């Protein structure tokens, strides 16, 4: 500082260049950048151009035949002259086999690959449903319904892991949610389509007509998954080391309790819902077609 408060020309301070301070690109910054929303139009193009829409359609096809037994139960009861006990056996034949089929489904998916279990969950279910439509006796119908449930048991253990491998980690929740829409949509649309067909050609025609597109899609989707596996085998990534024990392993016991309670409550709920079409026909006076169509509203709730 010179005399009179003036700055000496040789002692001027050199200020740093103006601009906001830069934040070091640490792991937290990179994670926040990855979580930032991207171009919505690009996300839609990636969704429509990838495999995810086909998995939504696969889930729709998987449940297409499964959603028919309960809405068609008044017609099935009249055709075979069944009482409530026997119609409960018809519904339980599929549901019990479907639950039992889930147990080996995950192991078989690890053993033989998820592609085969997904194919059985679509093509196998459609074939068994087609045979349900051709059944001429009560025993044949119960057998093919049980076969349909057992063949479909491997779809859900196999499909979500494959979907998770197709999308980025930050989008897995969205992808799995969209996949679930396919199953819910089938439980809403299948009774409506089945009732329209059954009103003219009977309940057997509903199984046969809806099985045909599911059979065709099952073959096509199997071919697509096979080509994808061939491409991935050429550029296979090295396997990562096994994960260390974390909170998921320590919470295994409480998780079993939650699964048991949720399964028990769902069993009670669906046991009551399965007899709603018969209640609407016997107590309210609805026609068989109206009762089956009304059940689509219950499925959509």
Whichever domain contains 278, its CATH number is 1.20.1250.20
Residues of the chain with pLDDT under 50: 25-27, 29-37, 41, 44-45, 48, 238-244
Give the pLDDT of residue 138.
Answer: 95
Name the burial class of residue 97, with classes exposed (0-12), middle (13-18) and buried (19+) by CB atoms within 10 angstroms of its CB: buried
Residue 255 domain-assigned?
no
Is 242 domain-assigned?
Answer: no
Tell me how many domains the chain contains: 1
Give the range of the structural domain holding residue 157, as residue numbers without chain letter.
Answer: 51-233+267-300
Q: What is the model's pLDDT at position 141? A: 96
Residue 148 placed within a domain: yes
261 inside domain: no
State pTM to two decimals. 0.76
Is residue 282 domain-resident? yes
**How many angstroms separate the CA atoms of 135 and 74, rounded?**
17
Q: What is the C-alpha to C-alpha distance for residues 122 and 225, in angstroms, rounded to an integer?
A: 13
Is 245 within a domain?
no
Residue-level pLDDT at 113: 85
Domain assignment present for 162 = yes
Q: What are the phi and psi torsion angles at 119 (to 5°)? A: -65, -45
The predicted pLDDT at position 269 comes to 83
Q: Is residue 288 part of a domain?
A: yes
How confident is the model at residue 239, as a pLDDT?
A: 47
Q: What is the pLDDT of residue 29?
A: 42
pLDDT at res. 34: 47
């Amino acid at each position: 500082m010179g005399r009179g408060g003036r700055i000496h020309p040789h002692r001027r301070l050199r200020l740093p260049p103006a601009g906001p301070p830069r934040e070091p690109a640490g792991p937290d910054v990179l994670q926040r950048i990855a979580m930032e929303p991207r171009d919505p139009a690009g996300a839609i193009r990636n969704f429509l151009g990838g495999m995810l829409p086909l998995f939504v359609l696969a889930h729709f096809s998987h449940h297409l035949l499964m959603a028919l037994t309960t809405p068609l139960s008044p017609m099935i009861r009249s055709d075979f002259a069944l009482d409530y006990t026997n119609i409960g056996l018809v519904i339980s034949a599929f549901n019990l086999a479907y639950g039992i089929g889930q147990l080996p489904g995950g192991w078989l998916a690890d053993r033989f690959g998820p592609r085969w279990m997904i194919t059985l969950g679509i093509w196998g279910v459609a074939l068994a449903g087609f045979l349900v439509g051709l059944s001429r006796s009560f025993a044949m119908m119960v057998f093919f319904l049980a076969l349909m449930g057992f063949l479909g048991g491997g779809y859900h253990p196999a499909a979500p892991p494959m979907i998770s491998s197709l999308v980025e980690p930050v989008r897995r929740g969205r992808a799995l949610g969209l996949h679930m829409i396919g199953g819910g949509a089938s439980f809403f649309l299948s009774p409506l389509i089945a009732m329209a067909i059954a009103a003219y050609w009977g309940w057997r025609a509903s199984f046969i007509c809806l099985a045909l597109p599911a059979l065709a899609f099952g073959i096509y989707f199997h071919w697509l998954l096979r080509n994808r596996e061939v491409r991935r085998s050429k550029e296979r990534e090295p396997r990562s080391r096994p994960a260390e024990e974390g909170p998921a392993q320590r919470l295994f016991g409480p998780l079993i309790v939650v699964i048991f309670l949720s399964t028990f409550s769902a069993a009670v709920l669906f046991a009551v819902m399965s007899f709603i079409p018969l209640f609407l026909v016997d107590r309210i006076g609805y026609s068989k077609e109206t009762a089956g169509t009304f059940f689509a509203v219950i499925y959509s709730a």
